[in-house]
């Protein structure tokens, strides 16, 4: 998705290539995003704080619409969700992919139309299903055989609900084994190879109140190659052909999920959306023609690729410690606001902002404030050798799976989210306060 940056990168240093397109350096050592200096955001809202470039989010939505003009595009809410993001998605013409009653109800109470929402999840709670049916969600993705009877009973004999079935195509793809979900022997979906998917589909067809509209798959996350998606298309169309032979079934939809990889550091590879769109369309048309099937409508579910590059995390340096051959730079956040490095080794490229320095760069490890040795935000990255307490560090590509995965560890409180656009900053999500934490603790 590098086309967002074409106009900005020509005027900026190469190490800003993973930053939002609006990033500028008005003075040496200063960075501004969306026309707002990051140092001003930190002073106004405190640190840690997440900064979300609204124009970058919207631009990425438009890139998807341009690349996939005949495709239903659903924003994967699990990446990051707040009321402003819901509003932006609605204005940009995207649907929503949610995986809980909480995400669903936040969307609908913000005014997002429920019929443009898809609910999925490997273990939907009774509340999830109740909310989906009460609010009139567009489709529910069935992930296990036990959901079929539960959902049919909840819908009732005279009700109606559109559903899809999440199938496992047996394809390994993704940046880490913990985020690969298209393979056998993991918790998501129903296997094609062992017949569980076909059996579940036959049971759904016996429930007249459930309308099967298509098949769903999600291969994993941080996929940077087009090939796994093409393999998934072939295998799913093969299943659709067998279903047509066995049941006379013509499914009008095929959901290929998301998992579109982005670059977290300069020089890393990102998935080429233009190539993905072109090759998937060709593969789908050819596979359906060979099987004698009409081409189903394609659905995709980008999340990280929309929100991730639009976000920046800002931290204050609290301490600089030299131990043996290592220098540790400790900041006022850490694994409670970004667990991804500890979970699956994600690497970032933090940058000193807010002051000019001519010091040489030296390798350091940026660590968090939490009581865990694994609380590391960035290992062996280069920062100015004179980095000191009080300095401001900015971490790009922080818009997805940071606040959405944040925890209450050490009771430090989750950071706020501020949006920037056209020289203005506004608060979207306030900081979690000690009073918020205390008010949940109701017993002695």
Residue positions annotated with a catalytic role: 371
Residue 389: is the preceding peptide bond cis (ω within 30°)? Answer: no
Please give the helix or strand (H or E) that residue 206 lies within, else none.
none
The Cα-based distances of 106 to 101, 110, 381, 428 in angstroms read: 8, 6, 38, 14
Q: Which two tokens stand for residue 382?
A: 């280069």
Q: Which two tokens stand for residue 215?
A: 């098949």
Q: Which two tokens stand for residue 347?
A: 């690497």
β-sheet bridge partners, residue 322: 327
Residue 368 near residue 377, CB atoms below 8 Å: yes
Four-residue CA torsion sign, 99, 104, 105, 110: positive
Residue 324 near residue 318, CB atoms below 8 Å: no
Is residue 11 classed as helix, strand or coil in its secondary structure?
Answer: coil
The Cα-based distances of 390 to 36, 299, 331 in angstroms read: 20, 47, 9
β-sheet bridge partners, residue 327: 322
Is residue 260 classed as helix, strand or coil in its secondary structure?
Answer: strand
Rounded to whole angstroms, the maximal C-alpha distance in the chain is 73
Is residue 316 classed as helix, strand or coil in its secondary structure?
Answer: strand
Question: In sequence order, which residues have a C-beta less than 8 Å from that of residue 225 and are 6 or more positions away?
Answer: 173, 271
Q: Which two tokens stand for residue 360?
A: 């040489």
- Find the length of the chain: 444
Residue 258 near residue 303, CB atoms below 8 Å: yes
Quote the CA–CA distance of 254 and 30 in Å, as a whole number: 46
Q: Which two tokens stand for residue 369?
A: 């404030």
Quote the CA–CA distance of 259 and 206 in Å, as a whole number: 33
Quote the CA–CA distance of 327 and 347 in Å, as a whole number: 17
């Amino acid at each position: 998705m590098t086309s967002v940056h074409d106009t900005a990168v020509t005027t900026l240093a190469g190490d800003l290539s993973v930053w939002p397109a609006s990033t500028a350096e008005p003075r040496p050592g200063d960075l501004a995003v969306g026309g707002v200096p990051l140092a001003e955001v930190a002073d106004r809202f405190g640190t840690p704080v997440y900064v979300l470039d609204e124009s970058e989010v919207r631009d990425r939505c438009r890139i998807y619409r341009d690349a996939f003009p005949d495709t239903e595009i659903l924003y994967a809410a699990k990446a990051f969700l707040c009321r402003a993001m819901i509003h932006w998605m609605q204005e940009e013409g995207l649907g929503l992919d949610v995986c809980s009653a909480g995400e669903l109800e936040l969307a609908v109470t913000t005014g997002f139309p429920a019929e443009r929402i898809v609910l999925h999840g490997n273990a939907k709670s009774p509340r999830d299903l109740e909310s989906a049916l009460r609010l009139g969600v567009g489709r529910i993705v069935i992930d296990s055989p036990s959901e079929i009877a539960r959902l049919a009973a909840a819908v009732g004999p005279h009700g109606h609900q559109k559903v899809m079935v999440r199938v496992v195509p047996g394809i390994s793809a993704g940046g880490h084994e913990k985020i690969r979900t298209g393979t056998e022997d993991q918790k998501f979906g129903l296997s094609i190879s062992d017949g569980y998917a076909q059996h579940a589909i036959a049971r759904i067809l016996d429930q007249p109140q459930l309308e099967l509209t298509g098949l769903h798959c999600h291969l994993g996350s941080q996929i940077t190659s087009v090939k796994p998606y093409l393999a998934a298309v072939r295998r799913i169309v093969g299943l659709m052909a067998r279903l047509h032979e066995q049941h006379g079934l013509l499914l009008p939809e095929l959901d290929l999920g998301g998992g579109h990889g982005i670059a977290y550091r300069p020089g890393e590879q990102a998935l080429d959306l233009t190539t993905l769109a072109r090759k998937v369309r060709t593969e789908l048309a050819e596979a359906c023609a060979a099987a004698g099937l009409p081409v189903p409508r394609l659905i995709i579910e980008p999340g990280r690729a929309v929100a991730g590059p639009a976000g920046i995390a800002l931290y204050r340096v609290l301490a600089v410690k030299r131990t043996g051959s290592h220098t540790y730079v400790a900041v006022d956040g850490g694994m409670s606001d970004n667990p991804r490095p500890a979970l699956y080794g994600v690497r970032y490229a933090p940058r000193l902002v807010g002051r000019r320095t001519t010091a040489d760069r030296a390798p350091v490890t940026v660590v968090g404030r939490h009581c865990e040795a694994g609380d590391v935000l960035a290992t062996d990255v280069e920062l100015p050798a004179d980095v000191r307490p009080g300095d401001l560090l900015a971490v790009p590509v922080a818009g997805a799976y940071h606040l959405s995965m944040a925890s209450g560890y050490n009771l430090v409180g989750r950071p706020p989210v501020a949006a920037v656009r056209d020289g203005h900053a506004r608060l979207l999500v306030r900081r979690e306060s000690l009073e918020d934490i205390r008010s949940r603790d109701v017993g002695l």
